[in-house]
Amino acid sequence: MASIRFIQSKDNARLRQLRAALQRPSRASGAVAVEGFHLVEEALASEISVQTIFVAADQQSLLNTLSIPPSVEVLALPAPLLEASVTTESPQPIAALIAPPVWQWPSLLGVPTPLLVVLAGVQDPGNLGTILRSAEAFGASGAILLHGTVSPWNPKVLRASAGSVFRLPTMAASAEKCFHQLAQAGIPAVAAMPREEAAESRCDALTPPLAIVIGSEGAGIPPEVASLCAHSVTIPCPGPVESLNAAVAASILLYEASRVRPPR
């Protein structure tokens, strides 16, 4: 592990970078901030580029169980200084700056029997993080974030994804670009709708290759995006519920698609 350097000033350049990355995750310039031992551990295990680790000076023992490459900068600082720089209500004694992975279309589309999830305006960070976690759990080949969807590097998204965002190929794109790429790859899109005649349990449209399109929590899928989908699907709800939470719906549909996906 690299040697530990102690800092005392709130004006330290790296600490300013940490604060900026946490406050403006969608505009981070080359670095993303993660908070908490679990996410730092996941980032290191995922073999993405970890640039700097920040640890409270009285909690340096946390570093002993982490596999930290010598190239990683490690900074120790007074706990109150670190707590003042992070955004969680219950601050963690460790954080890091990472270089977010950069994915290209072949990573998402150029795999056997692609299974994708397209997020059309999902704005709740907890929902997006849960969807990304479910996508990785059910073997999805990637996620495409259309305009209006929260940044995958939002701190709440990171926590809800439990590290999946580090590994699942994820790209932001316009609807036009997304559906052009899907068409070029021969991947039909299926719109998840709150009410339809066909139920997912009877719909063969969920057989991969496919892209499952999930809309925003309130408005659903924009009409201009739904019109680009080859099929629509609804999850039947016998109970008196109008519609499911976006993350719950996405997880059910990803599970159903993974069940009938040919072995890879």
Tens of pLDDT along the chain (264 residues) come to 568 999 999 899 999 999 988 887 765 457 899 999 999 999 999 989 999 999 999 999 999 999 999 999 999 999 999 998 887 777 889 999 999 889 999 999 999 999 999 999 999 999 999 999 999 999 999 999 999 999 999 999 999 999 999 999 999 999 999 999 999 999 999 999 876 544 443 456 788 999 999 998 788 899 999 999 998 898 888 887 777 889 999 999 999 999 988 776
The structural architecture, per CATH, of the domain 4-99 is 2-Layer Sandwich (3.30)
Going by DSSP bridges, is the β-strand pair 210-215/49-56 parallel, antiparallel, or unpaired?
A: unpaired
Q: pLDDT at position 234, please?
A: 86
- Confidence at residue 26, expressed as pLDDT on a 0 to 100 scale: 63
Could you tell me which of 264, 256, 246 has the C-alpha nearest to residue 132? 246
The arrangement of strands across the sheet holding 49-56 comes to 4-6, 73-77, 49-56, 94-99, 32-35
DSSP single-letter state for residue 102: -
CATH class of 105-260: alpha beta
**Of the candidates 210, 219, 214, which has an alpha carbon nearest to the alpha carbon of residue 113?**
210
Q: Which two tokens stand for residue 102?
A: 């950069």
Tell me which H or E stretch contains 185.
helix 175-185
Alpha-carbon span 111 to 109, nearest angstrom: 6
DSSP helix/strand/coil, 49: strand
CA angle 107, 132, 115 (to 5 degrees): 50
pLDDT of residue 89: 73
Q: Which pLDDT belongs to residue 240?
A: 78
> Which sign does the torsion angle of CA 145, 146, 149, 151 carry?
positive
pTM of the entire predicted model:
0.91
Q: Check residue 200 and give its pLDDT.
A: 44
What is the per-residue burial (b if ≥16 Cβ within 10 Å, else e) of 19-52? bebbeebeebeebbbbbbbebbbbbbeeebebbb
Report pLDDT for 196: 53
Domain layout of the chain by residue ranges: 4-99, 105-260
